[in-house]
């Protein structure tokens, strides 16, 4: 949907429900492609108080997702600490528009500094993650995942590669080609050339939050809230990799070595808080593959498009974007070095040399 079409729907819904935009808060519009917007999310007020409004065409606000959120809320109080969902105060789903207005929850983030965290903070986030996983395992839903882990990774990589083709400039196109080639070789290595795929290929697709990052979670009165919950099927452990990726998006000013050490500390924190030894072993291997998918998304899409925190709605911050690209290249190189340690051969030496050139 174009920006003008979405704005027209937003104005219509705002008038219908008596919504007034918060004058000091900017809204945002998640994109599906060039001039193709999924929805508009904006903070404001209705007669019930402060709300966060999500509005778009029919289907932008999934009724099934809202039902799943309701199912989650029924069992969430059994395990603490965990993610708590805000109240839904208004919703609609028509042929030309859909919306949901949720209680606006404000507070701090789980990590005081998004790019740096103490060991105790990491353990607290890991506990929050595993408790939230436990809640989803208790959610009774008739909905089932259609495809498996291998399909998920392939579809995601293909999606990042396709969107990345829009990159402008000869130099950027050359970088994109390197990243695309590495992505294809990693996929082939994991799922077809080694037994890594066999060890993790049977990861279950489970219900979880689409966005589970430090910037997605709000801490208020010792409760962790997900202000804009979007629930779908993801591979086991995806939320942990997503949280680390979110931290990395804000780590562009840190030394690369410190960042790589931090990645391992995060991995260890999640593993230590896992209560099941067999799950812990599988997590240790799957984490690298899941984080690789997130890194490719950053290099192929997030950085070239200047997504937060690398710019504004109108332009990307070239300095931040450059630092972020170098940092993610260093993380990608590190993960290519870690993957072969799970098997006996070392297949990525040529790719590592290419990535080294991008860091010089």
Q: What is the pLDDT of residues 300-322, one digit of tens each?
A: 999 988 888 887 656 778 899 99
Task: Please report the pLDDT score of residue 171 as a whole number.
Answer: 73
Residues of the chain with CATH 3.90.1200: 119-358
Pairing relationship of beta strands 223-225 and 98-103 according to DSSP bridges = unpaired
**What is the reported pTM?**
0.88
Q: Is 22 exposed, middle or buried (0-12, 13-18, 19+ CB in 10 A)?
A: middle
- Confidence grade of residue 31 (pLDDT, cut at 50, 70, 90): confident
CATH class label, 119-358: alpha beta
Q: State yes or no: pLDDT of 126 exceeds 90.
A: yes
Among the ranges given (76-80, 101-105, 317-321), the one the predictor scored with the smallest mean pLDDT: 76-80
Task: Please report the pLDDT score of residue 119 as a whole number.
Answer: 95
Task: Please report the pLDDT score of residue 292 as a whole number.
Answer: 94
Nearest to 22 by CA among 48, 50, 3: 50
Distance of alpha carbon 240 from alpha carbon 290, whole angstroms: 9
Task: Please report the pLDDT score of residue 206 as a whole number.
Answer: 92
User: Which has the higher per-residue pLDDT, 197 or 294?
Assistant: 294
Work out the end-to-end distance of the chain between its first and last CA atoms, rounded to an integer number of angstroms: 41
Task: Please report the pLDDT score of residue 354 as a whole number.
Answer: 83
What percent of the chain lies above the pLDDT cut of 70? Answer: 94
Q: Please compute the mean of the pLDDT values over residues 122-137 and round it to a whole number.
A: 94
- Confidence grade of residue 30 (pLDDT, cut at 50, 70, 90): confident
Q: State yes or no: pLDDT of 345 exceeds 60.
A: no
Distance of alpha carbon 312 from alpha carbon 290, whole angstroms: 28
Q: Please compute the mean of the pLDDT values over residues 329-354 and round it to a whole number.
A: 80
Please state, rounded to an integer, the average pLDDT across all residues of the chain: 87
């Amino acid at each position: 949907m174009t920006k003008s079409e979405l704005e027209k729907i937003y104005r219509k819904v705002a008038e219908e429900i008596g919504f007034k935009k918060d004058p000091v808060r900017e809204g945002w519009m998640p994109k599906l492609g060039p001039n193709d917007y999924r929805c508009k999310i904006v903070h404001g007020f209705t007669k019930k108080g402060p709300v966060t409004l999500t509005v778009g065409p029919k289907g932008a606000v999934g009724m099934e997702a809202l039902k799943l959120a309701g199912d989650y809320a029924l069992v969430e109080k059994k395990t603490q600490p965990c993610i708590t969902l805000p109240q839904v105060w208004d919703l609609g789903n028509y042929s030309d528009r859909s919306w949901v207005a949720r209680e606006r929850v404000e507070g701090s983030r789980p990590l005081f500094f998004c790019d740096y965290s103490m060991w105790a903070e990491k353990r607290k986030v890991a506990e929050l993650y595993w408790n939230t996983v436990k809640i989803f395992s208790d959610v009774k839903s008739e909905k089932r995942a259609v495809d498996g882990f291998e399909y998920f990774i392939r579809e995601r990589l293909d999606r990042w590669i396709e969107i990345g083709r829009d990159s402008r400039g000869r130099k950027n196109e050359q970088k994109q080609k390197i990243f695309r080639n590495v992505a294809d070789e990693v996929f082939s290595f994991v799922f077809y050339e080694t037994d890594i795929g066999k060890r993790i290929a049977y990861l279950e697709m489970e219900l979880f939050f689409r966005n589970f990052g430090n910037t997605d979670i709000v801490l208020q009165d010792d409760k962790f809230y997900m202000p804009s919950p979007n629930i779908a099927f993801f591979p086991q452990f995806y939320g942990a990799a997503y949280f680390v990726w979110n931290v990395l998006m804000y780590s562009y000013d840190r030394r690369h070595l410190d960042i790589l050490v931090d990645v391992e500390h995060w991995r260890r924190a999640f593993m230590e808080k896992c209560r099941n030894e067999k799950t812990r072993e599988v997590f240790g291997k799957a984490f690298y593959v899941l984080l690789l998918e997130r890194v490719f998304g950053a290099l192929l899409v997030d950085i070239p498009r200047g997504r937060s925190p690398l710019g504004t709605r109108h332009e990307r911050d070239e300095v931040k974007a450059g630092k972020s690209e170098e940092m993610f290249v260093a993380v990608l190189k590190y993960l290519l070095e870690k993957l072969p340690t799970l098997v006996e051969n070392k297949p990525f030496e040529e790719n590592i040399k290419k990535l080294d050139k991008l860091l010089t």
